[in-house]
Structure 1
């Protein structure tokens, strides 16, 4: 016991020392107050007004200017918190005006049109005007004006830097907020990313680092700056195609896995990508859309088009993991399809159900003689329908399963004629595959499991068989209407779901006009 007490007592000085070291460390991490702020500003500006400037005097005015500007800031609470925690230290004025940094930053803001964005959003002119006052030794007349302009420039710079970096790194619009059927993990700017911007020491290096470098982005950007016109479009429509797809490329929703499956809805195509290259591609059929005749275009946009109004059969945008396949699947027919299609067909042809291999269930029990039912008069919710495996099964011989809340999957189909059509938005929402067996081979590889799948798909009296994939395969269902192909040629696709129009509606207020783009 005595020994234990001695150990405890001897540990106390050590704990106290550690506490002091920790406290000093925390204190040293905090920005030191610039006690010589007035002298430093006087030396840099040669304006005698600054001789009497103090951090305490600035802090009082800074608080007032923050309150006055709150409504103009995109992230007022974060900016306020940043300056409160740093004792209202004017880091941009003290560290970045007189070495030319702010001029460089303003040039980035002025060239935002290269990204299709309106430079006016980033207040480069206002920043330059304020900087000019600091560099003119008679530009600021008294101490109150000095404090006010320091605070004004600090807040303006902080807000513009956050807005600019967020726009380039994450995009201007959150797809989850504008699209009803968007279920792809998409990272948005948060306090960590914004504070990183404000704490950057080398601002030019930081801004260079956030410029999009994706080859696709650079090719669309080049086309935007070149001002060309796509075949069959006006110059204005071409520009709008480019800017909405550049915005999509800025979203942080891109696959990071080395190997994945990706479906592009407007292109009606699936690719399996591995290390940046397509190792398999095929035609697909996707869900019917609201704009299949391309009657609505980006040129005919009006304010009401900002609201996303999906057609009930549109395939959702999502990402998930393919975890298993079902060979010779059964089809549990959704109630909407059963009531609008299956029961209508059965009312016209009593043998339709048996010819299509569709079983009818009532209260969980199979109905023995469904052809005797008057399908034109029964309740739509009274029965359930399930299609047996076979050549007529609407899911074909195999379906690929992945978790999602929209009950969609990739699957085979007996309706092969759809793949020969140019416009292939024809399904109820799932994605029909032009070559499902090839996809199975990529996922399972050569071997006994793949051989088992091939054999089962060829059987005359098949049974449903579910097989787990050896390694879950990421799947992305996307919507891209303009991109550069492997030859660098820009490809454009009709906006079959009208999602370009919705995006443009929300993006329009942030976009550069044609004169701003042409001037760069």
Structure 2
């Protein structure tokens, strides 16, 4: 009985397994038949009747494996292929409704953004689409597998590259600039796969065209070959080109209110609801191109790479969290070695006249005049220097603090003369304010805190006072050399740090290597 039961059970297991195999086989045959039927229906080429998805999958796997090192975002594309069992789903979804023909139309117009169409394989995609639509062009199944796989790979990779370029720029600023600390979004897997899963290609491509008014203004000028006053036609084109790329970077303020410093404009604005509510001159860090010797037309090969002058103000984004009124200045070692010990060696009373205290191992030295400063160098310097609050303090009467890795801040200054000059890249790296009290009033508003600030800034020999902002204020220190003003006129500022040169060289190099 037991033997008979086991025998019957074994038979049932085998029957179930056989039934499952038959179902899978039928399912695969159905899948094979559906793909072949759809391709034949669209192309009317008899060759596609014999298409086998398993062979098609192997062909697509081989295609991406062989090209992986040459294709941008290959891991994202391969993940998309894997999710679709290595079938040319993108081509099948968009070839039959004419959507695929739209891709090269948009790629051919990318020059309107100052970009080269070469990396988007427009001509190759057009040729493959035309070949698929010609019912006699593809002669063998091997040729069909290859062409389908190639079209799937070229169309998906080019769409991702195109979407990334328009929405995020073709260059990551963090990779070309040494002192770039601005939060900047870069394309991620979700964004890239969203492009591949769009149902309507034209609607998607329209949705990713840059819509910022500044971008459109510069793009219009670029397309009309506008010549900026004071620049040649070629340099005007290059100014527009690099600033269009900057506008594609996702590093723009999103807050209703923020502080922004534009380094080459030597100017600070407080923006509220899209409008400047406070504007002032500033002085920024001394730059490598402060004499404007180098331009987008005339520059040496060595200037293609970012080698910042030690005093250049960094590009950054942060939050102003507090102010210090009548600040104590902890003098950076770089300034101490280059300036303080030299001045002290030339004048034994320099330190006392400038209200600078000297410390060794955290202990204040009472008589720094007794030190032979002529023997002190940057290699054996064992002292720290602090400048007390007062009229001569290099930070003036107030400094605005925000976290950053470069130890820079906004501050007042006793050296007002520089604000009368056109070229104001003169500081050690921090941003000197033309109207520090005005900024304090804007950020704090009327009230007790501002009254304290105003009072303490007028004291003769006060102690430092720290006051936290009731609401932290976003700050952006940026670098923009060309824009359209409120009247629609193009404004440009000269490239005081040579950062336009670096960006243009990378754009040019990128295009020449494609």
After TM superposition, the score normalised by the length of structure 2 is 0.91
1:383 and 2:383 aligned: yes
Assess if the C-alpha contact under 8 Å between 2:341 and 2:376 holds in 1: no
Instruction: State the match for 1:116 in structure 2.
Output: 114
Assess if the C-alpha contact under 8 Å between 2:315 and 2:479 holds in 1: yes
What do the CA deviations read for 1:213-234 (whole angstroms, capped 9, x no partner)?
Answer: 0101111100110112222322
Assess if the C-alpha contact under 8 Å between 2:163 and 2:195 holds in 1: yes
Instruction: State the match for 2:507 in structure 1.
Output: 507
Instruction: State the match for 1:160 in structure 2.
Output: 158
Assess if the C-alpha contact under 8 Å between 1:265 and 1:479 holds in 2: yes
Q: How does 1:286-325 map to 2 (within 5 A)?
A: 286-301=284-299, 303-325=301-323
Instruction: State the match for 2:479 in structure 1.
Output: 479
Counterparts of 2:200 and 2:494 in 1: how far apart (Å)? 43
Counterparts of 2:489 and 2:377 in 1: how far apart (Å)? 55
Q: How does 1:489-500 map to 2 (within 5 A)?
A: 489-500=489-500
Q: How does 1:63-74 map to 2 (within 5 A)?
A: 63-74=61-72
The offset of 1:34, in angstroms, is: 6.5
What do the CA deviations read for 1:337-392 (whole angstroms, capped 9, x no partner)?
Answer: 11211221222222222221111222322222222332212344122211111111
Counterparts of 2:31 and 2:309 in 1: how far apart (Å)? 59
The offset of 1:145, in angstroms, is: 0.6
SS of residue matched to 1:36? helix
Q: CA RMSD in A?
A: 1.5
Q: Bigger shift: 421-430 or 370-379?
A: 370-379
Q: How does 1:54-69 map to 2 (within 5 A)?
A: 54-69=52-67
The offset of 1:89, in angstroms, is: 2.5
The offset of 1:33, in angstroms, is: 5.1
Counterparts of 1:432 and 1:128 in 2: how far apart (Å)? 56
Q: How does 1:180-191 map to 2 (within 5 A)?
A: 180-191=178-189
5+ long unaligned stretches in structure 1 = 1-31, 513-520
Counterparts of 2:254 and 2:441 in 1: how far apart (Å)? 22
Aligned length: 481
1:175 and 2:152 aligned: no
Assess if the C-alpha contact under 8 Å between 1:121 and 1:510 holds in 2: no
Q: Bigger shift: 396-405 or 223-232?
A: 223-232
The offset of 1:302, in angstroms, is: 5.0
Counterparts of 2:196 and 2:229 in 1: how far apart (Å)? 44
Instruction: State the match for 1:518 in structure 2.
Output: none
Assess if the C-alpha contact under 8 Å between 1:359 and 1:385 holds in 2: yes
Instruction: State the match for 1:450 in structure 2.
Output: 450
Q: How does 1:323-338 map to 2 (within 5 A)?
A: 323-338=321-336
Counterparts of 1:413 and 1:34 in 2: how far apart (Å)? 77
SS of residue matched to 2:374? coil
Q: How does 1:113-512 map to 2 (within 5 A)?
A: 113-301=111-299, 303-380=301-378, 381-511=381-511
What do the CA deviations read for 1:418-440 (whole angstroms, capped 9, x no partner)?
Answer: 11100000000000000000100
Counterparts of 1:65 and 1:41 in 2: how far apart (Å)? 20
Counterparts of 2:287 and 2:178 in 1: how far apart (Å)? 14
Counterparts of 1:379 and 1:84 in 2: how far apart (Å)? 63
Assess if the C-alpha contact under 8 Å between 1:219 and 1:484 holds in 2: yes
- Relative distance call for 1:314 and 1:272 in structure 2 (3 A) is same
Counterparts of 1:96 and 1:334 in 2: how far apart (Å)? 61
